[in-house]
């Protein structure tokens, strides 16, 4: 579903990604792990078009999408969340999820402003389906809460629900469990499994090893922009190079 071919990214003299090649198959949960500064967020930014790679190509469903604009990619079925949650703090939780439907909104802007019957009907539909997504992530009770007043752990879930509103086939999550307490992590594991059961593919950047080990079919390990290892969770757990990367040797 997703292929990275010898992807590299330099910021001035800094090599953030160096010749990274791996792929993600349809229906898999693949976790991208590695110490801080390894290049994980940069890689998600390259895949989603926020950053153009210095060299190399990204293919999605066998099409070259290297350097495509983020809004185009969201229409082709790639959804994401950010390491630093990007929510509209003054808007309600429900409205933040509704925003995720925008790329798919069919009524044109004039119909929207004039509140034609068609636009109203579409908006009602979006409101209802957004509420269903809030149920899906367990936030339906908070639907009308102003997002800025939510605890951090729940803000992360609002972002996931909003990404799902775009109905992505491939979902990229950047440290979604960061700041969650251990019962929230367990809930989040269940949410990831449900997303996968819905037929979606997930590339997950995450530090919480319990989460990573329990949901991933495969792991990709980056260190200093280089691919250190790709394999099954149990293989990676026993990989000497990976162990020493994490111990900082």
Residues near Mg ion (CB under 5 A) are: 40-41, 83
Query: DSSP character for 146?
Result: B
CA 106, CA 101: separation in Å to the nearest integer? Answer: 10
| E strand residue ranges, 41-115 | 55-60, 63-64, 78-80
> Which among 29-37, 87-95, 137-145, 240-248 is the span making contact with ligand ADP, rule CB under 6 A?
29-37
Residue 124 class from Cβ within 10 Å (0-12 exposed, 13-18 middle, 19+ buried)?
exposed
Q: Is 103 in the site for ligand ADP (CB under 6 A)?
A: no
CA 200, CA 117: separation in Å to the nearest integer? Answer: 33
Phi/psi region, residue 138 (left: phi>0; alpha: psi -120 to 50; beta: rest), is left
Q: Is 53 in the site for ligand ADP (CB under 6 A)?
A: no
Nearer to ligand ADP by C-beta: 97 or 242?
242
Q: Which of 2, 4, 7, 16 is the binder for ligand ADP (CB under 6 A)?
A: 16
Q: Which of 31, 41, 130, 147 is the binder for ligand ADP (CB under 6 A)?
A: 41
| CA distances to 39, 114, 230 from 227, in Å | 10, 53, 8
Note the Cα 26 to chain centre separation in Å. 15
> Which among 34-42, 98-106, 119-127, 186-194 is the span making contact with ligand ADP, rule CB under 6 A?
34-42
According to DSSP, the β-strands at 55-60 and 2-11 are: antiparallel
Q: Which of 18, 29, 30, 42 is the binder for ligand ADP (CB under 6 A)?
A: 42
Tell me how far, at minimum, the Cβ of 215 lies from Mg ion, in Å.
Answer: 19
> Which among 37-45, 56-64, 164-172, 191-199 is the span making contact with ligand ADP, rule CB under 6 A?
37-45
Q: Which of 20, 22, 29, 34 is the binder for ligand ADP (CB under 6 A)?
A: 34
Q: What is the CA radius of gyration of the chain?
A: 19
Q: Which of 40, 154, 162, 218 is the binder for ligand ADP (CB under 6 A)?
A: 40
Nearest 5 degrees, angle CA 76-CA 78-CA 79?
130
Nearest 5 degrees, angle CA 58-CA 84-CA 231?
45
Partner that binds at residue 37, options ligand ADP, Mg ion, none, CB closer than 5 to 8 Å by kind: ligand ADP
Tell me how far, at minimum, the Cβ of 237 lies from Mg ion, in Å.
Answer: 22
Tell me how far, at minimum, the Cβ of 109 lies from ligand ADP, in Å.
Answer: 33
Tell me how far, at minimum, the Cβ of 40 lies from Mg ion, in Å.
Answer: 5
Q: Which of 1, 39, 176, 229 is the binder for ligand ADP (CB under 6 A)?
A: 39
CA 78, CA 168: separation in Å to the nearest integer? Answer: 5
Interface positions with ligand ADP (CB under 6 A): 11, 14, 16, 34, 36-42
């Amino acid at each position: 579903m997703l292929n990275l071919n010898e992807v590299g990214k330099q910021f001035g003299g800094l090599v953030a990604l160096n010749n990274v090649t791996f792929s993600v198959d349809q229906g898999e949960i693949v976790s991208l792990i590695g110490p801080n500064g390894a290049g994980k967020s940069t890689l998600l930014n390259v895949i989603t078009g926020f950053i153009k790679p210095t060299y190399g190509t990204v293919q999605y469903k066998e099409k070259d999408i290297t350097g495509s604009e983020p809004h185009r990619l969201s229409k082709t079925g790639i959804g994401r969340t950010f390491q630093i949650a990007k929510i509209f703090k003054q808007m309600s939780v429900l409205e933040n999820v509704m925003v995720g439907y925008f790329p798919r909104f069919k009524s044109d802007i004039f119909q929207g402003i004039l509140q034609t019957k068609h636009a109203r009907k579409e908006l009602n539909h979006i409101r209802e389906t957004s509420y269903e997504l809030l149920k899906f992530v367990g936030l339906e009770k908070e639907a009308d809460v102003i997002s800025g007043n939510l605890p951090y752990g729940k803000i992360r879930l609002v972002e996931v629900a909003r990404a799902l509103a775009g109905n992505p086939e491939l979902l990229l999550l950047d440290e979604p469990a960061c700041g969650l307490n251990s019962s929230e992590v367990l809930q989040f594991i269940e949410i990831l499994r449900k997303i996968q059961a819905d037929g979606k593919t997930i590339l997950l950047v995450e530090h919480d090893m319990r989460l990573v080990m329990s949901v991933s079919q495969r792991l990709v390990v980056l260190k200093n922009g280089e691919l250190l290892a790709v394999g099954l969770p149990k293989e990676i757990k026993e990989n000497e190079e990976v162990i020493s990367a994490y111990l900082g040797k």
